[in-house]
């Protein structure tokens, strides 16, 4: 199994109305100034890992706009414009389109009335797991699967229950390693699956970048388990994005 190598990252800064976005976390209102500092630290971590990072200014029309992952699925062969599952986010994908055109890739799109969030799409080599969740429906998954197949990729669907997105509950660590909630282990059936301790479920959302795993700060058992696998780790403070149901993968489009 190959691991995707990334060269570019596309980010969007949180806006002053960041706290008006969608959330079910119940962790209180985010501190905007702290969110900006955490976003800058995230940006610097990606630069440290050798990526060319482009940071877009906040779009005041979309409080959730910093969660750019949900707007598109970008590969080395095609960029697919998603169609966010919450009506308040429709339009974010159009705002990101001009910046995807700069990547000089063929552009395809998920068509209405289908719904698909990028947070429900997990790439493992040339295979894509597509989560069926409250934000991504069967039609969205079907359209994405057909697009990916036209460009030489395979895909399969995964039932998502109890969490917002597929990658809220499980992420790929590289190779044959995954981290996540117990409920996802049987559906993936890969060789090594790091199961999270109670209270550390948020650490399911990690971000593997060219051999280094970004993990949220404050989850010592998850960190210990990943260190035991011999993985290179980089801890990132994510407290303010967690308050808005966001995680590490949410904040960037990597390609």
| Residues known to be catalytic | 165, 250
Q: What is the largest CA-CA distance in the chain?
A: 45
Q: Helix, strand, or coil here: 76?
A: coil
For 85, residues 6+ apart whose C-beta sits below 8 A from its C-beta are 115, 116, 117, 133, 134, 135, 136, 137, 140
What are the start-end ranges of the E strands in the chain?
A: 8-12, 52-56, 72-74, 79-81, 107-109, 121-124, 127-132, 154-159, 170-174, 177-180, 192-195, 207-209, 212-216, 232-236, 253-254
The number of beta carbons lying within 10 Å of the beta carbon of residue 87 is 8
Angle at 216 between CA 214 and CA 220, to 5 degrees: 110
The HSE-up count of residue 57 (CA atoms within 13 Å, CB side) is: 2
Burial (CB < 10 A; 0-12, 13-18, 19+), residue 69, is buried
Q: Helix, strand, or coil here: 196?
A: coil
């Amino acid at each position: 199994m190959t691991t995707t190598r990334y060269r570019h990252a596309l980010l969007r800064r949180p806006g002053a109305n960041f706290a008006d976005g969608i959330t079910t976390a119940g962790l209180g209102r985010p501190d905007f100034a702290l969110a900006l500092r955490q976003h800058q630290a995230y940006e610097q971590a990606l630069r440290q890992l050798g990526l060319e990072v482009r940071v877009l200014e906040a779009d005041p029309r979309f409080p959730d706009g910093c969660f750019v992952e949900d707007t598109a699925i970008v590969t080395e062969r095609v960029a697919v414009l998603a169609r966010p599952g919450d009506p308040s986010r429709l339009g974010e994908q159009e705002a990101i389109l001009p910046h995807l055109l700069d990547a000089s890739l063929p552009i395809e799109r998920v068509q209405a009335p289908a719904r698909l969030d990028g947070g429900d799409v997990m790439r493992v080599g040339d295979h894509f797991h597509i989560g069926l969740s409250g934000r991504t429906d069967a039609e969205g998954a079907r359209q994405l699967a057909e697009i990916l197949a036209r460009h030489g990729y395979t895909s399969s669907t995964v039932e998502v229950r109890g969490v917002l997105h597929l990658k809220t509950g499980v992420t790929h660590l590289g190779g044959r390693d995954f981290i996540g909630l117990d409920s996802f282990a049987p559906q993936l059936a890969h060789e090594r699956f790091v199961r999270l301790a109670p209270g550390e479920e948020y650490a399911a959302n990690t971000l593997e970048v060219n051999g280094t795993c970004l993990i949220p700060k404050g989850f010592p058992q998850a960190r210990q388990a990943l260190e035991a696998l011999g993985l290179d780790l980089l801890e990132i403070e994510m407290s303010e994005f967690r308050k808005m149901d966001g995680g590490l993968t949410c904040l960037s489009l990597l390609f």
